[in-house]
Each structure stands twice: as C-alpha cells, then as structure tokens.
Structure 1
Amino acid sequence: MSQEQVPGQFTLVLHTHLPWLAHHGRWPVGEEWLYQSWAAAYLPLMRVLRTLAAEGRRGVLTLGMTPVVTAQLDDPYCLDGMHRWLANWQLRALEAATLRTPTGAGAGTATTPEALREFGIREYDEAGRALEDFSTLWRHGASPLLRQLIDAGTVELLGGPLAHPFQPLLNPRLREFALREGLADAGQRFAHTPKGIWAPECAYAPGMEHDYAAAGVGHFMVDGPSLHGDTTLGRPVGTTGVVAFGRDLQVSYRVWSPKSGYPGHAAYRDFHTYDHLTGLKPARVTGRNVDSDAKAPYDPQRADNAIDTHVADFVGVVRQRLISESQRIGRPAHVVAAFDTELFGHWWYEGPIWLERLLRALPEAGVRVGTLSDALSAGYVGTPVELPPSSWGSGKDWQVWDGEQVADIVALNTEVVDTALTTVDKALAHRGAAPGRDVVADQILRETLLTVSSDWPFMVSKDSAADYARYRAHLHAHAAREISDALASGRRDAAERLAAGWNRADGLFGALDARRLPR
C-alpha cells in the first residue's frame, strides 16, 4: 500500500570511475581491477537500469561516467579481455562446484568442500548469466547501452574532464582542454553532451564556475561540507548561473561511510575473504572480529532478508529527511545521496539488488525520485553561494592530492605539464596552417593527462597499491618527456616512432586533438 507523498525530491547520484588500466599490468593491480568491477558492478547495474527502463520508469538516477572509464568499456582490447575473464570466472566456479578434496577448513566454515561445492554451483550459474548478457548486449561496448538509457530518460548522464585530473592543481590551459575534450568525448559516444559533470574528486577551486559556464556546464557535484552542510537546495555559484549540488552526508553515510554502513552487515558477502584455490569469495561477513578462515558460508536467503531490511531503513531515512528539511527551510527540499558506482556489486555484492528494490520502494513510499536536471527544472535552487576550496577526500580539502606524502607527484605533474605545453605550442606553431592533426602533439597531451590523473596521488595518500600508482605516474611522465625531447631536438621521425609506440598502450581518446589546446 502506497504511503502519503512527502514534500521535495530525492536524487541518487552514482560516480563511475577507474583509472586507465588496459595494457598496464594484470594482478594484483591492473586489468583485473577493471574486469572485477565490470563483472560485479557494471554488468548488474546495467541489468537493473534496463529492467527499470523497460517498465517505463524515468529519471531514476543520475549517472556519472568518466571519459576514462567509458574509453575502457568501449575498447576492443578490453572487451576481448573481459570476455575471457568471464569465461575464466565460470571455470573457477566449476572447479569449486566439483571440488572433492578436503581444504583443511574447519567444520561450518565457508571453505569446507560441501560449502564450496554449494557456493560454486550458484556462482557457475551467475557467471553463465553474465557471459550471456555480455555476449548479447555488450559486444559493441557500453556506449550503445548507455545511450538507450539516456534516450529513454531513465538516467541523466554526468560527464567530466579527460583522464580525471585533480582540476584545482592543474594548469588552466590544460584544465580547460581536458574539460572541453571530455564533454566532446561523451557527445561522440552517446550523441548527447552532458549539461552536468561530476568534477573529479568533487574538487573545487574558486573561479572554476566560470570555466564551467564557458564550457556549457550548468551544474556540478560537491561534497556536503562545501555547501557548509546545507545541501537541501542546489546553489548558483558566485555570479554565474552554474549550480552546485551537495551530497547529503547524513543520508549518504547511512549506506556507506568511512566507519560504517550496510555492506558491513553480518549476512552480506565478505569482500576480503577468498578461497585461495579458486579465487572466489564464499563467506559472509559473519562478524567484525571474525578471522577469515573462521567465517561462515554465504547464505543467499539470509542476505536477501538483510537487503529488505536495509531498503526499508533507507526509505525511512529519506522520507524523514525530506520532511524535516522541508520544514526547516519552509519550502520543499532536495536530498542528494551520492556514491561510487563500484560500491554496488564490487565492494558490496548485494548492492545492485538493494538499488533495484530501493528504486521501486521509494515511489511506493511517497518519495518523488528525479535526476539533478529534474531538480533544476522543478526549481530546487536557492540563493547564490561562494564555495571554499574543497573536495570529497579526507578533511574535505585538497590534502589527499596536495599533501606532503604526494609532494613528489605534485612536482612531477607541474614539470611534465610545463614541458608538454611548451613542446606542443612550438610543434603547432611550426606546422602553421599545415592540414591534418599532429599525432605527436596529440600523444604528448594524452600521456600528460594520464600523468596528472587524480588516481595516482589518491592511491599513494591512502597507501592503496602506492607503488603501482607511483610507477604509473612516472611511466606516463617518462612517455611525455621522451616524445617531447625527441621533438624538441629536431628528431621528428624518432618522435613519431615513440608516439606510435606509446599509443599502442595508451591509445584512448582517439579524438583528442592538440590543435584545440587553448592558445
């Protein structure tokens, strides 16, 4: 039975991003990260959204897709690698399902032969479904699927700059170039240029709203504290009409926070516990202080019950928040919950099912669900605001990307960007009115943008595969320098050979054109 309509609107925003991983290692960091996220998060999320679209549901969520992730989800090499990964997953599940030898596991734990066999049978079916989905729907990449959802009005697409740079620390010319090229990249893939963006890391520096306005961006996301905690309305920034929407932390943290949230519930699948023979994850969380080898077997029915409990809990939280915030401001309020897409399925196995049930339950509970664009159209906009320098990282400032731990990467970025811009300017001036693109200048900018990706300092600051992150930052810096040095010393042939060589590994953003770099 439907509940009474509450005032205001709820918006769910998902931010989909991984760094460029193709051709740069497999395991433990590299392409495996892409394929795991694709199988566990992107495939089931697409299934959920296609199901809701087929029911005629509109404006169910706002989906941020960074150009670097869509580049990988459309890339023939990645599509081939993903197909092999899914087939390998099915083989690993089959191995678990036919296991006969004792594993030395204690009775009642997730890795006894009986528990693994039961788990393997379910996992085999799931892998088969994923393979069928992938073979029939994904053969031309993610873009045709996303375009259908955008055209149907089921999702609003948010874009972003090429290669996910931390914009406040970036040279203004390269910042403008990355943003404009990123929006154009989305336009080419989806026949739809986003009006809104998820700025990388929700990072903001005063004045960036003017860059957004000039690039045709009408709204962007910030974290709640950037709006001093009052996220009930979008707020035009400064003297522009560009609207900042803030993440409601009270609501968002109910699902996932630095300390707690639904995914830690005892019934859900444990992300960290592997069966070392097959690489599968057969355990449930069981308890916060339970050792991996003592965790109980995953029980789908128990997890299913927990999903229903957490859907009901979140619906109650959203309803109450809309009522109380609308009363506080004396007009209908807007509540935005925002998360990384990879939370749903990759980190939290049950996340996609929770999402599907939630998106049905909210309207039933009298909550109006809409996108950020819907919120603008409906007038959920307050008075102008001046935003502080901010991000959604630790401390809500820039420390993760500009702190002492990553001072070497900040210095590296500055040096590489300066070298690249100087070299590209000279190369383009030298060519003058010569027709056609300069593939050498293009590749220098491509490698420079990969060098300044916000992922590398984030991974170092968080001590998450920090060695890999430093290796990647220095690798792309070396590529940009090596091509630049050859060009600057008049060795055009060598520069072309080097650019072609690096392009075999880093050939993303094929439409990137150095001639469009602001003078």
Structure 2
Amino acid sequence: MPVGRFMLVLHSHMPYVLSHGKSPHGTDWLFEAAVECYLPLLDALDRMRQAGVKPRWTVNMTPILAEQLDDPAFQEGFIEYCEEKAEFARQDRELFEAQGELWMTGLAAMWERWFTKAVIQFKHQCGRSITGSFKSFQDDGLIELITCGATHGYFPLAGTDESVQAQVKLAVSSHKKRFGSDPRGIWLPECAYRPGYSWKAPAGDDEAVWDRKGVEQFLAENGIEYFFVDSHMIRGGEPLGTYWQKFPQLAELFSRSKELFSPPDEYRSEYEHYLIPEGVTVFARDPQSTVKVWSGDVGYPGNPFYLEFHKQQYPGRLRYWRISEDKSNLGAKQPYDPWRAHELVAEHAADFVNIVKGTLAQYKGQANREGTLVAMYDTELFGHWWWEGPEFLYELGMKMASDPDLQMCSGGDVIDQDPARHMIHLPEGSWGEGGYHNVWLNEDNHWTWAMLYPAQKWMRHLARLGVTGLAQEIAEQAARELLLAEASDWQFLISTFSAKDYAEARFPDHIDRFNRLAEMAERVHGGATLNEEELEFLRDCQVKDAPFPELDLSYWAHLDHPLRPPEAYRS
C-alpha cells in the first residue's frame, strides 16, 4: 500500500511579448522559455512515454502563453533565435580553441549541438507546435492540462465582476478549442483568491461599496472543479508581515474580508483537499518540497556544481560556468562540468523522493489515511533558472514510477479517487510575499489600478451597447487591449524592479489604446465614420496585439448567474 499521493503542478506563463520588444525584455523571454523549459520538459515526457511511465503531472499553460506559442511569428522567430544561438556557440568554440582552452571549447560545442537539436525537435518532433505536443501527452495519459486566467489577470483586485467572468470564460473556451476538452482545474493567477463580500476599490476615486461574487462562483459556473492555494490559506492563518497594515487601501480590504472569516477551530492540513462553497475543491501547496526546489540558498538549484545563471559570455549570452563555492563572486566561477551535474541530478531526485515519502508517511500516521503532497512550481524554474531542472523532473518521474510507496496523480485523479470529505471557508490571499496582495498593490504600482478600474467599467458599458459591424470589430480590439492590461505581470515587474521600465511602458500603452478604441467604437455605433488615421490606428492595434482572434463581447456585458448574498459566505 502506498503511503500517499504525489501531485506535481507546473504553471507555464508568459505575458504577451510578441511585437513588444526583443531583448533584454520582449520576445527573447518567450524564446528562452521555449528552448530552455518547454522543449526539455517535452523531451522528458517523451522519454517517459517510451519507457511506459505516466507521471500524471498537472500542467497549466496560460491561454495567453498558448496564443503566443501558436502564433506564426513565434514559430519563425524561434527557429531564427536558436540558429543565432548556435552560431554564437560556434564563434565561442573557435575563440576558446584559439586560446587553448580545451574544456571551454568542449562546452561551446555542447551549446552548439544543444541549440541545433532544439531546432530539430521543434520542427520534426513537435511539428512546430509546442501546444500540440503537450496535447499529445495529455491524450496519452501522461499529464492533465489545466487552465488559468486568460491573460493572468489578478482576480481579487479586478474592478468589475464581469472582468473576472471574462478572464475565466475566455480561458475555458480557448482551452477547449486548443486541447480538445474542458479543463477540470485552474491555476488561479498568483494563486490569488477572494471570497464574496462587500468590496470597495482600493485605488481611484470610486468610494462605492458593493457586493462582489466569490472567485469560486466563477469557477463553478464554468465547470472548473478544482484550484490551488498556498498552505497558509488552508490553515486559515493571517498574512505574514505588516505591509498590509501600512498601506491604507490594503488595510481596508483586509478588514472587510476578515469580517467574513473566522480562524478555524478544527485542524486543517495541506495534505488534505477540501470543498469550498459552490462545491469546488481546493488543494494547497506543500511548503517543505517547495523550499527544496525553489530555493537557490538551501535548495537543490544552489548546488555549486550546477550551471551558473548570472555569468554569461557575450555577445551570445551563453553560460560556461558552474555556481561554484563562492556564489556571490562572478570572477571566481569555475568551468561547468555537465557530467558531475548530471550525477547530482539523480542524487537530488532520490533525496526528494525520500522527503516526499517521509512527509506523507508522517501524515498517514497522524490522520490514519493517505494524503496528497502537492508540489507547485513555475515551469520556467526548470531549465531557465535551474538549468538541470527538466532532467531532475525526468529522474523524479522515473524513480516515483518504480516506487510502490508512492502514487503519482493529477488533480482530476485525486477528485475521482478520493472526493473531498470536508467543506471549509478560505480567507483572502495569494502565494505572493506576505500571503496577501502586497506585491500587486503598493506605493509603486497602485496607479495601475487607478487607470484600470475606469477601463473595466467602460468595457462593461461598451459590451452592453450591442455593437455590430465595424463598431463590434473595434470593441473586440478594445477588449484585447484591456485583457493585456489586466495581466498581473505588470504590477509584479514594477514591485520587484526586475523589468520595471518595461512594465511601466507596456501597461499605460494598453490602457491608452483601449481608451481610444472604446471612444471610436461608441462613435461608430452612433453613426460616425472613421478617418484614415483612425483606421490605420485600428489596423496597427490589430497587428500588434493579436491574441484571441475570436472574442465574445457578451462575456463583459452581464453576469451569467446572479450574485449570491454575502451572508452565504460567512463562516
């Protein structure tokens, strides 16, 4: 008998970058993720399929990422990117050879072969379709594909319920069209959840207080059966730190939601899954396994023999050094040894299996039943930040498949085999720093919400006009601009300063385009004619921001289902 179930959940996401810059911020982000993360992950799955192993990973591919991967502009640009990288590796090889550095010459040859192999894999194994390849592994039973908010909008802070509805409905419809079935699960953007309560906008001039639908209502209405949160939300704990107390808008939000939630008396565990109102199941992230794989300080990715992320050889930006014992001194980095790194991957995978088994065995002893350990990560961790990560996942899948003490399962598998036994209420929160909305609403980025909220209300008004013809075409493009502006990435990049200038340029550009398009749509609806400059602006928007070619404006017009009273959410 197994000691418990193991669920690996991978979240694959990239904001819309096509036609919005190349390097250091822009399409190179997408190309890097594809060659370093998605293709190696597909290769690992292919090797497991050949070995007859079905790891049952739960894989999320956000709709906006899938839209980009299926775009012909990505497919052509990706091949050029890999060929360019292979050429840089060839130049490095010749340079190292001329300098008599034989080990470095071999590493450059490794990179040259690696990028060449990526082109072959993309063209011939994937048929130029990364999303189609993931679908094939779903169809063969190796993985379960789930969805996310259409453009990774941050649900708890959205200014209208119709905007949340549009994010969910568009996610479900695009997933079904692309992958052939309705998604059973969803990765909420930033794992952020909000129950229903009397809400007030935390930014802008609107002082109105109004009743909001809980996030789970939108999920249930659209056939979503389960989602994920951080462990502190299952346990009913308050956010960590005091930032929410220092920022008045967050403090007011917190006090309003807290009125509807009382800390639970009963014991809750992240190794159990629970029902919440509307009958949706919630799983929680395991903190122990998270640290071992996420942390560059105490986790596997920080091992001195793994590939160093920060030191690069210019102009190709290829990496030839290992992390080394002195992690902070780039000048002290030693040459990378891929053979030693590969040995460590197997050791670390075995160690991780033992940690999982020990954790689940301990819980089984306490609860007298099998639990589920949910290991949740950004897919881009594996390959981009941790180069050896995809091989770690392969070793993990192979080792667990041969271990009788563990059962690998997806979210849907658990619900089918062992439906949740208890209903709980969740507090508001996210998986971000502090466990609340701090990263996405603070002194540095609150201005984005002040610009977004009027646009979301205008979109609702525009959708209710019943526009047709050219006015409808313009309104649909306005909806695309709003969807792109809603991405939580912009607030995150501003808060973390990782690409602050890029985000501060992208966000207002989408809002400005939305505002102009919405005004044009209303004028055309009223009988006006656009001049040539306005028509050219529309065409430019349609070319530059082209995801989701088929949009249904009714998503924004009216809520599909009536609002439940806030009292129904009281714990």
- TM-score tier by shorter-chain length is over 0.9
Q: 485, 495, 502: which one pairs with 1:461?
A: 495
Tell me how far apart the structure 1 counterparts of residues 216 and 32 of structure 2 sit (CA, whole Å): 36
Q: 1:59 touches 1:156 (CA, 8 Å); kept in 2?
A: no
Q: 43, 46, 53: which one pairs with 1:57?
A: 53
Tell me how far apart the structure 1 counterparts of residues 54 and 146 of structure 2 sit (CA, whole Å): 16
Tell me how far apart the structure 2 counterparts of residues 258 and 237 of structure 1 sit (CA, whole Å): 35
Alignment of 1:485 onto 2:481: no
CA-based RMSD? 1.9
TM-score, length-normalised on structure 2? Answer: 0.84
Tell me how far apart the structure 1 counterparts of residues 329 and 55 of structure 2 sit (CA, whole Å): 43
Partner of 1:37: 33
Partner of 2:445: 406
Tell me how far apart the structure 2 counterparts of residues 259 and 409 of structure 1 sit (CA, whole Å): 33
Q: 2:270 touches 2:284 (CA, 8 Å); kept in 1?
A: yes
Alignment of 1:168 onto 2:156: yes
Secondary structure of 2:530's counterpart equals: helix
Secondary structure of 2:11's counterpart equals: strand
Distance 1:63 1:39, change over 3 A: same
Q: 109, 123, 128: which one pairs with 1:121?
A: 109
Q: 1:334 touches 1:380 (CA, 8 Å); kept in 2?
A: no
Q: State the Cα distance separating 1:18 from its structure 2 match.
A: 0.7
Q: What amino acid maps onto 1:41 in structure 2? A: C
Show CA shifts across 1:395-452 (max 9, x none): 11111112222111111111221233323333x2x54xx7x99211111111001011
Show CA shifts across 1:185-214 (max 9, x none): 011111112011001100100021111111
Partner of 1:96: 92
Task: Report which stretch shifted further, 472-481 or 373-382.
Answer: 373-382
Partner of 1:376: 415
Distance 1:438 1:298, change over 3 A: same
Alignment of 1:209 onto 2:216: yes
Alignment of 1:321 onto 2:359: yes
Show CA shifts across 1:345-371 (max 9, x none): 111110011110110111323211111
Secondary structure of 1:243's counterpart equals: strand
Q: 1:486 touches 1:492 (CA, 8 Å); kept in 2?
A: no
Show CA shifts across 1:479-519 (max 9, x none): 10111122334445356543322010111111222244342
Tell me how far apart the structure 1 counterparts of residues 272 and 97 of structure 2 sit (CA, whole Å): 60
Partner of 2:225: 218
Listed as ranges, the gaps of 5+ residues in structure 1 are: 104-111
Q: 1:95 touches 1:278 (CA, 8 Å); kept in 2?
A: no
Secondary structure of 1:9's counterpart equals: strand
Partner of 2:430: 391
Partner of 1:439: 473
Partner of 2:293: 255
Q: What amino acid maps onto 1:82 in structure 2? A: F
Alignment of 1:185 onto 2:174: yes
Q: 302, 311, 333: which one pairs with 1:295?
A: 333
Show CA shifts across 1:319-356 (max 9, x none): 00110011122211111101000011111110011110
Tell me how far apart the structure 2 counterparts of residues 441 and 315 of structure 1 sit (CA, whole Å): 52
TM-score, length-normalised on structure 1? Answer: 0.92
Tell me how far apart the structure 1 counterparts of residues 529 and 192 of structure 2 sit (CA, whole Å): 38
Partner of 2:375: 337
Tell me how far apart the structure 2 counterparts of residues 518 and 13 of structure 1 sit (CA, whole Å): 34
Partner of 2:566: none
Q: 461, 467, 470: which one pairs with 1:422?
A: 461
Listed as ranges, the gaps of 5+ residues in structure 2 are: 196-213, 236-267, 559-571
Show CA shifts across 1:80-128 (max 9, x none): 110100101110111111115878xxxxxxxx84443121111111112
Tell me how far apart the structure 2 counterparts of residues 258 and 403 of structure 1 sit (CA, whole Å): 27
Q: What amino acid maps onto 1:34 in structure 2? A: L
Partner of 1:308: 346
Show CA shifts across 1:27-57 (max 9, x none): 1111111111111001110111122223333
Q: State the Cα distance separating 1:8 from its structure 2 match.
A: 1.7
Distance 1:425 1:260, change over 3 A: farther
Task: Report which stretch shifted further, 269-278 or 249-258.
Answer: 249-258
Q: What amino acid maps onto 2:539 in structure 1? A: A
Q: What amino acid maps onto 2:192 in structure 1? A: A
Alignment of 1:86 onto 2:86: no
Tell me how far apart the structure 2 counterparts of residues 144 and 6 of structure 1 sit (CA, whole Å): 34
Tell me how far apart the structure 2 counterparts of residues 305 and 258 of structure 1 sit (CA, whole Å): 19
Partner of 1:473: 507
Q: 1:233 touches 1:382 (CA, 8 Å); kept in 2?
A: no
Partner of 1:227: 234
Tell me how far apart the structure 1 counterparts of residues 316 and 549 of structure 2 sit (CA, whole Å): 38
Distance 1:217 1:181, change over 3 A: same
Q: 2:295 touches 2:302 (CA, 8 Å); kept in 1?
A: no
Q: 2:69 touches 2:130 (CA, 8 Å); kept in 1?
A: yes
Show CA shifts across 1:219-259 (max 9, x none): 01111111017211111013x21001111111221111485
Task: Report which stretch shifted further, 48-57 or 473-482.
Answer: 48-57
| 1:236-247 paired onto structure 2 within 5 Å | 236-238=275-277, 240-247=278-285
Distance 1:517 1:419, change over 3 A: closer
Tell me how far apart the structure 2 counterparts of residues 159 and 184 of structure 1 sit (CA, whole Å): 10
Tell me how far apart the structure 2 counterparts of residues 278 and 161 of structure 1 sit (CA, whole Å): 35
Q: What amino acid maps onto 2:157 in structure 1? A: L
Number of residue pairs the alignment of both structures matches: 501
Partner of 2:567: none
Secondary structure of 1:18's counterpart equals: coil
